[in-house]
Structure 1
């Protein structure tokens, strides 16, 4: 009996082994009907464009979220899919007493997947090839590519506009965007007439006189000076003036504050509206108009046609043709020696790019979206980051902003005001992120 049982067990084991062998053979040749091959994983992240520009990158990718109308393919580029900022690029302001739900806004680049962007956003831009003025190997533009901001940065974006940028096709593309982000509020004749005077190389280069300033150095150093109250009593004037270039904006009161803010101005950034408002609002503090000196350049941030009209009048030494500044003499603002070579104007693609990729506020989701844009100070600082090799920022908002008055020249304390046309808290967060990433040196009280 024992022998019979042992033989039976052996037969059973052999049968099971044969069946398993046949089953495995079937699996290797054909999938059974109740199993399917695993599909390759696909996520929006797989479509992200590399933060480094490929040397063989086509002029226009196959997918364009906002294709311009009737634009030659060689004139525009787009990066429709962007990675999110690195986790370590997010500043925690949860301990700030002024924090609200709206403060939780983070830098949100255009979505990587889904339907095309709204035409209002327009994450498609003209390509520019203005050569670098310096030979600095450690410039911000090369370092930003490997930072948490690499996916948002475009090295070929035109910062300034001039005569070469005007064409009927470009006008059709850009007139769909309002305010400083395009040419919607501008007729073609005014546009062409103004930009025709910006026809020199100096008009398209922020640091147009670098060779005469470099003094044997390879890297351009820029001080970007805001008007924040944090500068009062700072004694940073000599340090600011020690840079190759000094950028200022709006109500840049200097007289009486030299020890804190310095004396030099190489670039004055403004819109006609902000300049006129500053002359009215800060007259009591001593602001009479833009700084005037042989080294000063004037950089327009065009909000309306009045900026183009004042620009042309200044370049041609004629009175303003029409608008709120009609019959005004531009030399009253920029001095008798102002010339076309000293005038520059931001390209609307650049300001829209700053809005879309660095300061994309929740205000864009409200009925006030046409009013929103980066502040003049933010545009100034981000322009410096795109053109200077090293940037130091003074007088910009820091997390302890409530300790300081709105402006360094205020005679009494004035609380910082927040309005829908700018997102100052988002800008504050961005300055902290850029400082932490080592892309700028932000002055903060200790």
Structure 2
């Protein structure tokens, strides 16, 4: 049964909103800049009735020299846990080295309750995936008001019907790395309760290595369109489509909000690069608001600030730096699942493997200034060593 806004209005959500003074954010630059344009010193890490939005409280007081674009202040909300897992990640992470970074009540997803003038004023100072900079208030209202049920604010929205008396949710998070080629991990991946995939996830013909199920597909409109152009010749025609598949937008621009609105209402995109396009072309004829989710910009900024604080933030490319789409997906699973197994993510021996498992011939892994893949690799190693995720490695 789907929980409505009226149901959530009864939940106790108390905190106080405090923000930094509004400052002008750096202007966004182009989406991808080859990493060889960065010097090593600049950032290559080698190794209707609606309740008010849950009021935000400061995560910590920033230092006197902390740049205003960091914005280490986040909304906080108390959404009841869905499981009674005795040894889930959230209970163990607090005792690990990641404990000081972890915010238990950070909103992973944004939805109807979050869109207020007050929150727009707070978040419009942050560009790209880290805020609502460049997205006008009317567009936010038009989009987020259709995300008005528990299916939109809970990542594992169908757990009650799926759990089969299990106390813990088990999630497989599948990247597209070449390490999966020949792995024969497909059956193991599909055996999880949930299977997360991202971007150019080519499945047909690779089921033995990567599995066939997809319950959560993470993407931005930009990465979706790029994947269709780049990998169409090897079998990627769009996101996986199935009854159990949910589509999780990582919004980088207003085009993500426009595509989300069109998909939820079965209308054509009204403006922007996708103007006139039919979203059922990507998400299937049965797509509905209940199958759509969207990461909260506070969550992405929190991941950047606390888990993936790259030296790129000290460089001229700071305005385009964000966690990779795969990193956002994996860390979202860390915040919502009880047990997480990660496959197809970069490991220290990455040079042995092609960039993707579906590459027809060996392709060297490329590095770009908008992501810090080496830093991400180091974090995956630390999470694995701490027992917070199980990372697939050949050795």
Larger-gyration structure (1/2): 1
Alpha-carbon distance in structure 2 between the residues aligned to 1:306 and 1:64: 28
Alpha-carbon distance in structure 1 between the residues aligned to 2:159 and 2:21: 37
- What whole-Å deviation, never above 9, does each CA across 1:381-428 have from its counterpart, x for those lacking one? 000000000000000000000000000000000000001000000000
Shift of 1:366: 1.1
Is the counterpart of residue 365 in structure 1 residue 295 in structure 2?
no
Question: What corresponds to 1:335 in structure 2?
Answer: 284
Structure 1 residues 74 and 241, CA gap change in structure 2 (3 angstroms):
closer
Contact 2:128 2:253 in 1 (8 A): yes
Question: What corresponds to 2:7 in structure 1?
Answer: none
Alpha-carbon distance in structure 2 between the residues aligned to 1:64 and 1:388: 35
Question: What corresponds to 1:24 in structure 2?
Answer: none
Question: What corresponds to 1:51 in structure 2?
Answer: none
Question: What corresponds to 2:126 in structure 1?
Answer: 177
Is the counterpart of residue 162 in structure 1 residue 142 in structure 2?
no
Is the counterpart of residue 313 in structure 1 residue 293 in structure 2?
no
Residues 96-135 of structure 1 mapped to structure 2, 5 A cutoff? 114-115=63-64, 117-135=66-84
Structure 1 residues 194 and 356, CA gap change in structure 2 (3 angstroms):
same
Shift of 1:367: 1.3
Alpha-carbon distance in structure 2 between the residues aligned to 1:401 and 1:222: 23
Alpha-carbon distance in structure 1 between the residues aligned to 2:155 and 2:391: 21
Structure 1 residues 217 and 61, CA gap change in structure 2 (3 angstroms):
same
- Is the partner of 1:370 in helix, strand or coil? helix
Alpha-carbon distance in structure 1 between the residues aligned to 2:280 and 2:20: 48
Structure 1 residues 134 and 65, CA gap change in structure 2 (3 angstroms):
farther
Alpha-carbon distance in structure 2 between the residues aligned to 1:163 and 1:118: 30
Question: What corresponds to 2:330 in structure 1?
Answer: 381
Alpha-carbon distance in structure 2 between the residues aligned to 1:134 and 1:150: 21
Is the counterpart of residue 79 in structure 1 residue 68 in structure 2?
no
Partner of residue 234 from structure 1, selected from 183, 190, 202: 183
Question: What corresponds to 1:4 in structure 2?
Answer: none
- Is the partner of 1:248 in helix, strand or coil? strand
Higher mean C-alpha displacement, 132-141 vs 257-266: 132-141
Contact 1:225 1:393 in 2 (8 A): yes
Partner of residue 143 from structure 2, selected from 174, 185, 194: 194
- What whole-Å deviation, never above 9, does each CA across 1:34-54 have from its counterpart, x for those lacking one? xxxxxxxxxxxxxxxxxxxxx
Unaligned 5+ segments in structure 1 are: 1-56, 67-71, 82-112
Contact 1:64 1:124 in 2 (8 A): no
- Is the partner of 1:438 in helix, strand or coil? coil
Q: TM-score, normalised by structure 1?
A: 0.77
Higher relative contact order (Cα pairs below 8 Å, separated by 6+ residues): 2
Structure 1 residues 395 and 74, CA gap change in structure 2 (3 angstroms):
closer
Q: TM-score, normalised by structure 2?
A: 0.87
Is the counterpart of residue 400 in structure 1 residue 354 in structure 2?
no
Question: What corresponds to 2:245 in structure 1?
Answer: 296
- Is the partner of 1:298 in helix, strand or coil? strand
Contact 2:168 2:339 in 1 (8 A): yes
Unaligned 5+ segments in structure 2 are: 1-13, 24-51
